[in-house]
Amino acid sequence: MDNVKFINSLRFKLIAITIVLILFPIILFSIVYSSLVKDIISKKYSESAIQSVYEAGENIDFILNDIREFSNALLANRDMISALNDKNNMDVVAFRSLLRSFFTSREDIDAIYVYAGRRVYSVGVNKVAEMEDYMPISKLAETDGEIVWINTRREKIKILAGEFDKYYFSLGRKLIDFNTLEELGLLTVDIDEMILESSYKSLISGDIEQIFIANKYGEIVSHPDKSKIGQSIENEVYAKEILAAEKKSGYISFKDQGVKKIAIYSTCDVNDWKLVKIIPYWYLYREIDEIQWKLIRIGVLYVMITSFFMLLFSLKITEPIINMMKLMKKAENGDLGVQIDTKGQDEIGQLGMSFNTMINKMRSLINKLIEEERHKKELEFEVLHAQINPHFLYNTLNTIRWMAKIQGAKSASSALTALIKLLMISINFGKDMISLEEEIEYVKNYILIQRLRFNERFTIDYNLEEACLSCHIPKLILQPIVENSIIYGLQEEDAKPLNIEIKAYNRQDMLIVEVSDNGPGIKPEILKNILKSEKDANKFSTVGLNNINQRIKLAFGESYGIKIFTKENHGTNIVVELPCKGEVLCKIEA
């Protein structure tokens, strides 16, 4: 009866579901890993091993090619060719000194031999046996001057009072005077076989692997086990296919005494030597298999531990946590009015109270930030707007001063009347937005004053669509642009007459106002900094174009503002883009 009750309990169901949900992804992962992931990893691992062998083969190619170039340098040396051409009068000491200079220039060369007639000249290690004892001189003499690579052999060398075994491979070729094509003798260069081994030694990670270099006839010329040097691989299962391979690098799979193996090879371009690495498949993928077994063991252990903890804490822990998670999710989605019902006094209850406190503080902080941002924007807008007044007032008063000086007091009344109208629009009793028609009227009053100052050296045309005159825009955005056109277009006494045109039209629900002139334009070094937030150098300050741009962006967003199109000595076109919707909607008649 107790067993039936336990089976029907929520705790048992929760534990059973948990175990199933844990086991299912583990089993699914194992199947996917075995059938797909393992194959991919194995392929990548094989490609990595092939690439390592290829890179080692490239390294060997570089070594052999470097030795070949060294022999070319010997053949091209004029002093050597001259000495060999005049064997009877050869200065033997000087010739050996010449050979020694070549020998000491290389650390990877152990000996250099030159056979000229019956004489042998050599520098390098002191060998017990003479060259004729192991080198088919007659066979080398039958060549036409091409390079012959002589297989690695064991030699005894003398060092102080002792004799030691060492393995060398050699480069051999005829010495030919390229001017007369006369055969002057034979050259051999001995190189320590350890140089070859060092190029692939990093690929050896255990005794299971085999790696060696064989020539195109299958004779081993380098091997970590020196006793195998000189042996042939022709009878091996993989040998025929590798020796006949035309590809630069690759691999073949084969079975050796029932064991599946892979032979990876890379071909040296210089002499068709093959670098071969043989690895059993099980050894190549041993780390992958170890990872798979570790994952299985971790999965089983995880199921056992999870089941144990679910048995202890299933109902009491999960239910309040799930309820809390739901409320937290609502808060995450923006509902900051949630509150957790904290009945208990344990850790979960304390967590609920902390969550409620956090939500209350977040609401308070968000409201505070919204209010601060609104206030900050208002202040910024007021500061930017206020910058216009002192700048403009200075220019206006300066104009009146020049007018009074030149013309006396006759035009003062007109100038002061225009100034009063300008100041009334500027103050405008706290209104930030005025109609385009009012802004144009403001510009006309400003032009009246400037005509008196500049003696009517400029003209201004208005090309305004009737439907756009009722659009509401931030006040005082056109006057600074016109001011720039006049001041910098007429700053030279002999400047040509200035023509200014103001256009307004609607384009794709956007109000476009253009102020263009035929003035001197804006220099590139000034143009690139003119709309930056900081104060710019030269004549355009933040009180002018930059001020207008910032005010528009503060009011309507980053999508709006001013654009400047100018070419030095060919005029300037300032394009003001404003929204034409909502409060600033252009009332275009159908």
Measured between alpha carbons, how far is 301 from 48 in angstroms, rounded to an integer?
A: 33
Residue 210 half-sphere exposure toward CB, CA atoms < 13 A: 14
Q: Whose CA is closest to 45, among 202, 303, 264? A: 264
Chain position carrying tokens 């406190």: 357
- The encoded tokens of residue 16 equal 């059973």
Give the contacts of 473 (CB within 8 A, at least 6 positions apart): 433, 434, 435, 436, 439, 511, 513, 578, 584
- Whether this prediction's pTM lies above 0.85 is answered by no
Q: Average pLDDT of 47-64?
A: 88
Encode burial over 337-376: b for 16+ CB neighbours within 10 A, e otherwise: eeebebeeeeebeeebeebbeebeeeeeeeeeeeeeeeee
What pLDDT digit, counting tens, does each position of 272-325 carry? 899 999 888 787 677 777 777 787 788 778 777 877 777 676 666 666 766 777
In the beta sheet, which residues pair with residue 261?
A: 254, 280
Measured between alpha carbons, how far is 75 from 69 in angstroms, rounded to an integer?
A: 10
- Above pLDDT 70, what percent of the chain? 75
Q: Which of 123-137, 146-160, 350-364 has the lowest mean pLDDT?
A: 123-137
Confidence band of 41 (pLDDT split at 50, 70, 90): low
What pLDDT digit, counting tens, does each position of 459-491 carry? 899 999 988 888 888 888 888 888 888 888 777
pLDDT of 176 strictly over 50? yes
What integer pLDDT is reported at residue 388 of this predicted model? 55
Q: Which of 94-103, 363-372, 568-577 has the lowest mean pLDDT?
A: 363-372
The angle at the Cα of 490, spanning 487 to 492, to the nearest 5 degrees, equals 120
What integer pLDDT is reported at residue 255 of this predicted model? 87
What integer pLDDT is reported at residue 133 of this predicted model? 46
Helix (H) or strand (E) holding 158: strand 148-159
What integer pLDDT is reported at residue 7 of this predicted model? 61
Q: Which residue has the higher pLDDT, 254 or 337?
A: 254
In the beta sheet, which residues pair with residue 502?
A: 462, 515
Q: DSSP states of 354-413 as a string?
A: HHHHHHHHHHHHHHHHHHHHHHHHHHHHHHHHHTHHHHHHHHHHHHHHHHHHHHTTTTHH
What integer pLDDT is reported at residue 62 of this predicted model? 92
Do residues 95 and 121 lie in contact, with contact meaning Cβ atoms separated by under 8 Å?
A: yes
Q: Average pLDDT of 428-434?
A: 64
Task: Give alpha helix (H) positions in 77-136.
Answer: 78-85, 92-104
What integer pLDDT is reported at residue 541 of this predicted model? 41
DSSP-based helix, strand, coil % in the chain, nearest 5: 50, 25, 25
Q: Would strands 458-464 and 498-506 be described as parallel, antiparallel, or unpaired? A: parallel
Q: Which residue has the higher pLDDT, 378 or 353?
A: 353
Q: Average pLDDT of 334-344?
A: 73
Q: Would strands 220-222 and 119-124 be described as parallel, antiparallel, or unpaired? A: unpaired
Do residues 200 and 211 lie in contact, with contact meaning Cβ atoms separated by under 8 Å?
A: yes
Q: Which residue has the higher pLDDT, 428 or 229?
A: 229
